[in-house]
Amino acid sequence: MTLVQPSANRQFLHAVGREDIDMVCEIAGPAAKQAEDQGFGPCKSTFVITFQMISPAQKKALQTATVDPQRVVELMPDRFEMPTESIRSSMTFSDSDLGDSTMEYMKDEWYIVD
């Protein structure tokens, strides 16, 4: 599963770069639901704010970003942490730009869960 997971995160990064709210909310569904339960709004309204916090140059870089599998941390066979340092792109991203994400394999797909 290690090889499948980075491609799922790459798909998420590309969707953020394109401001593809449907894809972002699909992949980040479990984490978005958790945030909504904690008082944040629905993914499609709250993630738009995140898009506004990312510069046009960063969005362009995310559209072709990849993930360095050597920097991915396996927490369990079906759960991986993707630190910001694992993002490979024409720009460097910090934790304050994107933050780490935890992805889990559920229902035959990878989702961001935290």
7-43 pLDDT tens trace: 778 899 999 999 999 999 999 889 888 888 999 889 9
Q: How far is residue 49 from each of residues 16, 44, 45, 61, 110, measured CA to CA in Å? A: 12, 9, 7, 19, 24
CATH code given to domain 4-112: 3.10.450
pLDDT tens for each residue of 75-104: 998 899 989 999 999 998 888 888 888 888
Cα–Cα dist 37/5, whole Å? 26
Domain residue ranges in the chain: 4-112
Could you tell me the pTM of the whole model? 0.85
